[in-house]
């Protein structure tokens, strides 16, 4: 691919030495790049590393171009890196085009001829799979599942019955979408009585679901994962949770039933949410937070229990002074006792 094509794709301006017509075969880090590769520098403090790189071209922040090699200047080099990396991603089917002879497919399933199905994958009755999808090996797609266009389902993923999946979705290995929710009632003898789930899961366009993620179906209404949501590995989404569009959730986070997460929320790793609360749009939840009540729109919280981010940081900073503070209190107490005796 010519460098000029890459520049047009990311809306970059040329600077530095000429080279619009050089061929670029991939993207690499500055240290490992060869002359046929492009690299990027996300921060001006790494510009010297970029200049010393053997890369044929470099993506830099506007105003940071240099004469040693062709530079593509953009507002956000890290975003430019992401956009260029997608150009060179290998999206060909891992197990070959078409339907593998060992796949088990119900005769009522409808699969677009441009999609591929890997070995030992099982597809149930009335499944609908759109164009340019890639379903890898040992996947299970149960009855009445609907899948849009350009969806990638990695080996070993399980899509339970009735789940609806939009287009441009990625579901990585080991994910289970549509598992039963954790619902039980207790009788007078303290025995648990399972509550069946009659809802489903709705995955909207552009969602990415990491490895080992589990998403429970709703009790009656669906569990909803909104457009553009990114779920890291080992995230658990309970029944009837709704996650707003373009929210990102890091690994090992668990969200209890019927919690509503807003749009563009950033949730760090190992966060725990109780059920039936609302997390406002554009909020931030720090790592290992325990969220037990509503979070306001735009709020930044962390800690256990979760509180205002800056308040928690001040508390943590103060806690390191507690030993000296305790000594001071003991000293003052001794002096007060002496005064009282007088």
- Kindly tell me if the per-residue pLDDT of 265 is higher than 90: yes
- For residue 180, give the DSSP letter: P
CATH superfamily placement of domain 104-311: Hexapeptide repeat proteins (2.160.10.10)
Average the pLDDT over 200-228 and give the result.
Answer: 98
> What 3-state class would DSSP assign to 73?
strand
Q: Which tokens belong to 73?
A: 């200047």
Active-site annotation holder among 132, 236, 239, 276: 239
Cα(69)–Cα(33) distance, integer angstroms? 13
- Kindly tell me if the per-residue pLDDT of 215 is higher than 90: yes
User: pTM for this one?
Assistant: 0.89
Q: Average pLDDT over the chain, rounded to whole?
A: 94
Is the separation of the CB atoms in 281 and 297 below 8 Å?
yes
- Kindly tell me if the per-residue pLDDT of 275 is higher than 90: yes
> What 3-state class would DSSP assign to 164?
strand
Is the separation of the CB atoms in 226 and 243 below 8 Å?
yes
Cα(241)–Cα(262) distance, integer angstroms? 11
Is the separation of the CB atoms in 268 and 254 below 8 Å?
no
Average the pLDDT over 54-75 and give the result.
Answer: 90
Q: Transcribe 24-56 into DSSP letters.
A: --EE--TTT--TTEEEE-SSGGGHHHHHHS--S
Q: Hey, which CATH number is domain 3-87, 3.30.70.20, 1.20.200.10, 3.40.1390.10, 3.40.50.300?
A: 3.40.1390.10
Extents of the domains making up the chain = 3-87, 104-311, 312-341
Half-sphere exposure of 263 (CA within 13 A, CB side): 3
- Residues contacting 5, CB < 8 A, separation 6+: none
Q: Residue 321 has what pLDDT? A: 84
For the question of residue 239 being annotated catalytic, the response is: yes
Q: pLDDT confidence of 43, banded at 50, 70, 90?
A: confident
Is the separation of the CB atoms in 285 and 267 below 8 Å?
yes
Q: Residue 115 has what pLDDT? A: 98
């Amino acid at each position: 691919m010519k460098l000029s094509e890459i520049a047009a794709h990311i809306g970059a301006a040329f600077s530095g030495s000429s080279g619009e017509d050089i061929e670029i075969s991939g993207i690499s880090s500055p240290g490992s790049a060869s002359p046929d590769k492009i690299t990027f520098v996300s921060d001006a403090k790494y510009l010297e590393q970029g200049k010393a790189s053997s890369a044929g071209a470099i993506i830099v922040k506007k105003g940071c171009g240099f004469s040693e090699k062709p530079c593509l200047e953009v507002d956000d080099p890290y975003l430019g890196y992401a956009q260029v990396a997608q150009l060179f991603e290998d999206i060909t089917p891992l197990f070959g085009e078409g339907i593998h002879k060992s796949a088990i497919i119900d005769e009522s399933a409808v699969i677009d001829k441009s999609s591929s199905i890997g070995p030992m994958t099982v597809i149930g009755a009335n499944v609908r799979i759109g164009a340019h999808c890639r379903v890898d090996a040992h996947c299970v797609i149960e009855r009445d599942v609907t899948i849009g266009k350009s969806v990638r389902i990695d080996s070993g993923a399980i899509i339970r019955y009735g789940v609806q999946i939009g287009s441009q979705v990625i579901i990585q290995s080991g994910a289970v979408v549509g598992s039963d929710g954790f619902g039980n009632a207790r009788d007078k003898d303290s025995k648990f009585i399972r509550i069946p789930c009659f809802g489903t899961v709705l995955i909207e366009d552009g969602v990415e679901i990491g490895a080992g993620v589990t998403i429970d179906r709703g009790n009656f209404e669906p569990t909803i994962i909104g457009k553009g949501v990114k779920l890291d590995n080992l995230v658990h989404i309970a029944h009837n949770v709704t996650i707003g569009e373009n929210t990102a959730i890091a690994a090992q986070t668990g969200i209890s039933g019927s919690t509503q997460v807003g749009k563009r929320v950033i949730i760090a790793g190992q966060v725990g949410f109780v059920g039936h609360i609302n997390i406002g749009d554009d909020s931030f939840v720090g790592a290992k937070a325990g969220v037990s009540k509503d979070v306001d729109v735009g709020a930044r919280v962390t800690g256990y229990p979760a509180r205002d981010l800056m308040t928690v940081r001040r508390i943590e900073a103060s806690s390191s002074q507690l030993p000296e503070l305790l000594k001071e209190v003991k000293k003052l107490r001794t002096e007060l006792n002496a005064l009282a005796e007088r």
